[in-house]
């Protein structure tokens, strides 16, 4: 039994928190000091995927409570109507289908550690009840009349900014101060890139055993891509990316083709997993027209400084390109006049709300994109319609097509 407990501690405790950077070395020294103390409440904060659960396990298995239960619950995964009974238990007949008494997680974790993940999702009523338990170490089952004494170390975790939630009235101030007696902030992976090689080696060794493979490491290009990526999903995203690469790789070195598209292309977040609306329209504009010929639209000119001028791209009937800017206040137009100025034009209009639906990066929305970006194509043929299949799911494209012969239509 003791050897089994040692194996559990080795697999889930302090040794699985990988970190060789200065930030992580100092953090784990602090974690070891906290684990040896008698602190009854600890708050761990950090972005999603930084390893808050591993730090909680490290605190438990390095403490005097290591032989007692470690009980974890995700507060966002349990409906509010069931959360109270889950935490504090219930008596027989307390509600419909309560056919027997049930102990709550506080009783199950008595003399051990209770890990409350995503505590910021608790309702105000449960926050008040949790505060009373933390203050008095007393619980009362749902439908019960008797208080029960418990001795539990509570470790709470959240990826939300709880101080901001307190200011906005979404989280109780007194509960926050009670939890934050000991506060631990985990840095995101992008701020400790020195740990990335050690994490890669750990996960490659782990998946070699799991998938019975013999991958020796990464080639130089793959290593460069991993180091340059900003990892918005932190260690969890790295772990999933390497799991995919290990499943696909049949040789001894992981290659860029084995990585997810977002990592291999250097794009972060969900925006890298699907083409944006403008990328889709650009590719769709090169579809064959009637007669087999292709008409290529010019690339859009996006101002770096977020200028308020409307940029227009114009293509003549012979395929020649010219870019025209809206005339300045003095009446002088910047750039060349388009050859197709005399023709009636089609327009593609994409507003701010639809750009957000397209998943365009926030930095582009804030700084680089003008509220209206108009593409004008001077041609006697109608503009190729962008197929819905070329757009990412949920993107609403608003196209206004005007023509001297066809009047106007909204697609």
- Which is more confident, 276 or 98? 98
Residues 344 and 33: their CA atoms lie apart, in Å, by: 74
CB atoms within 10 A of CB 239: 18
Residues 304 and 369: their CA atoms lie apart, in Å, by: 9
Sole residue written with tokens 């504009």: 285
Residues 23 and 406: their CA atoms lie apart, in Å, by: 65
Whether residue 135 is predicted with pLDDT greater than 60 in this model: the reply is yes
Whether residue 297 is predicted with pLDDT greater than 90 in this model: the reply is no
Torsion sign across C-alpha atoms 233, 236, 239, 244: negative
Minimal CA–CA distance to 137: which of 78, 178, 92, 185?
178
Whether residue 371 is predicted with pLDDT greater than 70 in this model: the reply is no
Run of H or E including 164? helix 162-167
Q: Where are the beta strands (DSSP E) in 107-246?
A: 113-117, 138-139, 148-149, 153-158, 183-185, 217-218
Whether residue 249 is predicted with pLDDT greater than 90 in this model: the reply is yes
What is the per-residue pLDDT for 81?
86
Q: What b/e sequence results for 158-190 when a residue is b if at least 16 CB atoms lie within 10 Å of its CB, and e otherwise?
A: bbeebeebbeeeebbeebbebbbebebebbbbe
Average pLDDT on 142-167 reads: 95
Minimal CA–CA distance to 353: which of 262, 410, 277?
277
Q: How many Cα atoms within 13 Å fall on the side-chain side of residue 131?
A: 16
Whether residue 184 contacts residue 224, with contact meaning beta carbons closer than 8 Å, is answered with no
Out of 21-35, 147-161, 185-199, 259-273, which region has the weakest mean confidence (pLDDT)? 259-273
What is the per-residue pLDDT for 277?
39
Domains of the chain, earliest start first: 2-187 (3.40.50.300), 191-271 (1.10.8.60), 274-410 (no CATH)
For the ranges 13-17, 111-115, 285-289, the one whose mean pLDDT is highest = 111-115
- DSSP assignment string, 121-178: GS-HHHHHHHHHHHHH-EE--BT----EE---EEEEEESS-HHHHHHTTSS-HHHHHH
- Answer left, alpha or beta for residue 217, where phi above 0 means left and psi between -120 and 50 means alpha: left
- Both tokens of residue 352? 């701010």
Run of H or E including 337? none
């Amino acid at each position: 039994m003791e050897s089994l407990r040692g194996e559990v501690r080795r697999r889930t405790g302090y040794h699985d928190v990988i970190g060789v950077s200065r930030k992580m070395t100092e953090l784990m020294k602090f974690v070891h000091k906290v684990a040896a103390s008698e602190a009854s409440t600890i708050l761990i904060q950090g972005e999603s995927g930084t390893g808050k659960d591993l730090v909680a396990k490290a605190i438990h298995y390095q403490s005097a409570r290591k032989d007692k239960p470690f009980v974890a619950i995700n507060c966002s995964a349990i409906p509010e109507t069931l959360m109270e009974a889950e935490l504090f238990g219930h008596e027989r007949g307390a509600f419909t289908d309560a056919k027997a008494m049930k102990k709550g997680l506080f009783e199950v974790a008595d003399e051990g550690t209770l890990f409350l993940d995503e505590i910021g999702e608790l309702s105000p009523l449960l926050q008040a009840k949790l505060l009373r338990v933390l203050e008095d170490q007393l619980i009362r089952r749902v439908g019960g009349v008797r208080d029960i004494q418990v001795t539990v170390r509570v470790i709470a975790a959240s990826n939300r900014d709880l101080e901001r939630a307190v200011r906005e009235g979404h989280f109780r101030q007194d509960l926050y101060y009670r939890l934050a007696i000991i506060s631990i902030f985990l840095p995101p992976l992008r701020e400790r890139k020195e740990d990335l090689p050690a994490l890669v080696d750990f996960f490659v060794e782990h998946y070699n055993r799991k998938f019975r493979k013999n991958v020796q490491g990464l080639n130089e290009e793959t290593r460069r891509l991993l180091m340059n990526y900003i990892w918005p999903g932190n260690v969890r995203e790295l772990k999933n990316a390497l799991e995919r690469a290990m499943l696909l790789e049949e040789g001894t070195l992981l290659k860029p083709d084995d990585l997810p598209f977002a990592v291999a292309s250097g794009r972060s977040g969900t925006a890298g997993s699907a083409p944006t609306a403008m990328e889709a329209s650009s590719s769709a504009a090169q579809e064959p027209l009637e007669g087999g010929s292709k008409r290529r639209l010019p690339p859009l000119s996006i101002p770096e400084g977020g200028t308020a001028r409307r940029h227009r791209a114009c293509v003549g009937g012979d395929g020649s390109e010219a870019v025209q800017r809206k005339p300045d206040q003095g009446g002088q137009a910047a750039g060349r006049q388009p050859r197709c100025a005399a023709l009636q034009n089609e327009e593609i209009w994409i507003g701010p709300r639809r750009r957000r639906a397209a998943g365009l990066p926030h930095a582009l929305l804030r700084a680089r994109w003008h509220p209206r970006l108009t593409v004008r194509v001077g041609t006697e043929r109608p503009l190729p319609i962008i197929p819905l299949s070329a757009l990412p799911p949920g993107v609403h494209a608003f196209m206004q097509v005007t023509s001297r012969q066809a009047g106007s239509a909204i697609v």
